[in-house]
Structure 1
Amino acid sequence: MKNRKKVTKTRSGGITVGYKEHLKTMIEIIDTECKYVMWFQVNGKAFNLDKPVVFGVVYIPPEYTRYSSDEAVNEIEQEFLRFSNISNYICLLGDFNARTGCDDDFVIINEDEHGDNNLSDFIENPINALEALSIPTKRESMDKGKNRYGNMLLNFCKGNGFFILNGRLGRDQNIGRFTCRNASVVDYCISTPELLKTFKDFEVLDSSKLLSDVHNPLSITFFCDKNLAIAHAENVDYFSKKNTFTKIKRWNSEKIKDFQNNIDVEKIAELEYKLTNTDLTVVNKNMINSLIDDLCNIFVKSGQTTFGTYTVKQNKKRGGILEIRINPGLMRNVNLHVKITGN
């Protein structure tokens, strides 16, 4: 978590990154000085890439507020340049509070102007990366307005070779759906050209008061290594050397009585004792998770005894996708999910 340290009378915010525990071996949080971005990297093997994929979760406070800073984009850029020496697979996503309209996020290079001096042989036209993947060069946006932070973001993209995915990719292609108050686009996912080939989908989801105050969540889906998807679905370590794992056989209603009889009553008594003697004034998330884990383990053990188990071998023919969801709001957070596809 990266949050504001200053105590105020009004609600403050911050950035969090959340992921399933069994994905922890492939994800590394990177501590930096900039308070406007929280960096983490994902092992490149998950994407079938030779280098790690670096993500930056961004929150830039709105213009003309007590927390606003004209140096926010510059600070993020300095840290990006440092990471670009490690990997060219970099993605920034979150609440930029930038309105960019439909303006270009790239510099148009006219190759005809450089034909005589062969300079075009040394200039990489960024549009080529989009055209090679059949991604529109012109993005759409329902928000036609612009602000100063929007110009800063566009200049950042032009200067560092980033592309805005909003209105250009996946289910948001040719739409550019509003991301805030159904009136503006201020939340973005931007990517370096080299990473574009790994994107499967981009979508602006419906708003939810449970997730945010006024923002819409962003859902970004990547193609990933098939074994990562299988490992996630079966709740096993992706980097484990094991090629097989154990599962409980399907539920059989005819064995309900056996299931009930196989529940460890001593474990139930221990759990009941813990619940009865828990001080409710000091209950925290870790304590709740521990109690739930204890309860689940009791049922799992009974299921193993009642229905039996079988060994599963990883299916080499199945593919996977890695899904990242951004929930901008009072607390900006990112959650990583992995799904199995039939590809």
Structure 2
Amino acid sequence: MRTSLNISTWNVGGLISENHDKTTDPSFLAEFKNDDLIFLTETHAGYDSIVSFEDFQYYPFCRTKSKNNRYFGGLGILIRNSIRKGVKFQNDGTSEYQWLKLCKEFFNFKRDIFICIVYYAPKCSIDLIEILEKDIIEKYGKKGEIILLGDFNARTGNDCDFIEGDNTNHIPLNNSNYNLDILNERRASCDNTVDSRGKDLLDFCICNQIRILNGRILGNSTGKHTCFKYNGCSVVDYVLASEQLFCNILYMCVSDFKATFSDCHCKLSFKLLASFTNENTNSNLKDFPTRYEWNEEKSISFQNAFAHPAIQNELKNFKTEDISFDSAGINQATKTIHSLFEKVCKITLKKKKEKSEN
């Protein structure tokens, strides 16, 4: 029986480049060995990129290629196989943000938790904070608690994200619709700067009773810097949560900056109180036949995709592998073949959208 859920977010500044494939780097993968849910921003990958993490299912949300034939931005969500049944995509979002639901029945929460990964680019044509607020007011805030995490490119300094001295003295008698701010402790931050987007984020927090974890939670009580650039350090990566969730968050950590794994950002991690049993994944393969749309016009490209160097390398390893003809060996061989076909599907076929489960 598990008693907590480990969640992390990281702006990795690209997963795969000509000189470094982080998805095959043991040191990079070791960063996530204890995580159950991983939210990556700025993956710089496309739907045709081959990304695989052992024991995880990977869900990319990518931008189209730029004019110079490169990928920028993009999100990558990794869900550990053993908890996949408890996580539902909500089909709300783009390559800049995505909503998921952590099911109360699976994790034994009091209410469902709606968690959103965010990459709010420095130059963005949309008001992402306004979009998130609309989602919360019209949909998710009524159904459960909220967690937002990722790179907001917003600097909030030490300013309040709650109403100081909040009380009901100004409220008419017998009006029980006003919810007082529960949390009235100021947070700490190593970054004293407040910019315009930071002010918008603070107003968003105040209006929706959502609070910043950075600088408030055991493990990051000082509000450590999350971004390191040549012209200075800042806090732009956050974990935000509903006030009611604070008693369920055991700790939050900002890892040390590692230039090998990100251009300028630190990994953020936190532990959420839960109660669940890991699913046995040996006989519970992913339902990939229902996740891709077959197109006869793609039949040739589907076959040609098996000539991809990465696929050929895996096929070669599979052919030379010593497979035992017992239950464990056959299950492992089936899992390997399944993984190969799924990678080919990612290269050539369109992914079916999962139906939202309310």
Matching of residues 142-161 of structure 1 within 5 Å = 142-161=190-209
Aligned mate of 1:178, from 212, 225, 229 = 225
Equivalent residues of 2:257, 2:266 under 8 A apart: yes
DSSP 3-state at the match of 1:89: strand
Equivalent residues of 1:164, 1:191 under 8 A apart: yes
Equivalent residues of 1:55, 1:92 under 8 A apart: yes
Give the deviation of 1:214 after TM superposition: 0.8
DSSP 3-state at the match of 1:31: strand
Equivalent residues of 2:157, 2:194 under 8 A apart: yes
Equivalent residues of 1:88, 1:194 under 8 A apart: no
Question: Radius of gyration: which is bigger?
Answer: 1
2:251 matched to 1:195?
no
State the distance in 2 between where 1:122 and 1:289 align.
62
The equivalent residue for 1:124 is: 179
Give the deviation of 1:41 after TM superposition: 1.3
Report the identity percentage.
24
Question: 1:35–1:282: structure 2 CA closer, same or farther, 3 Å change rule?
Answer: closer
State the distance in 2 between where 1:45 and 1:97 align.
34
Question: Where does the alignment leave 5 or more consecutive residues of structure 2 unmatched?
Answer: 1-59, 285-303, 330-358
Give the deviation of 1:89 after TM superposition: 1.2
The equivalent residue for 2:88 is: 28
Matching of residues 77-96 of structure 1 within 5 Å = 77-84=133-140, 87-96=143-152
State the distance in 2 between where 1:196 and 1:297 align.
48
Give the deviation of 1:94 after TM superposition: 0.2
Aligned residues: 248
The equivalent residue for 1:261 is: none
Question: 1:302–1:187: structure 2 CA closer, same or farther, 3 Å change rule?
Answer: closer
Q: Once superposed, what is the RMSD of the aligned Cα atoms?
A: 3.5
Matching of residues 313-332 of structure 1 within 5 Å = none
The equivalent residue for 1:139 is: 187
Give the deviation of 1:21 after TM superposition: 2.2
AA partner of residue 5 (structure 1):
T
Task: After superposition, give the CA deviation of every residue in 1:80-103 in whole Å (9 maximum; x if it has no partner).
Answer: 223325522110000000000000
- Of residues 42-51 and 92-101 in structure 1, the stretch that sits farther from structure 2 once superposed is 42-51
Task: After superposition, give the CA deviation of every residue in 1:229-265 in whole Å (9 maximum; x if it has no partner).
Answer: xx26x65799xxxxxxxxxxxxxxxxxxxxxxxxxxx
State the distance in 1 between where 2:79 and 2:152 align.
23
State the distance in 2 between where 1:149 and 1:293 align.
54
The equivalent residue for 1:45 is: 105
Give the deviation of 1:192 after TM superposition: 1.0
2:62 matched to 1:3?
yes
TM-score with structure 1 length normalisation?
Answer: 0.62
Question: Where does the alignment leave 5 or more consecutive residues of structure 1 unmatched?
Answer: 132-136, 239-277, 304-343
Task: After superposition, give the CA deviation of every residue in 1:129-169 in whole Å (9 maximum; x if it has no partner).
Answer: x37xxxxx110000001111101100111111100000001
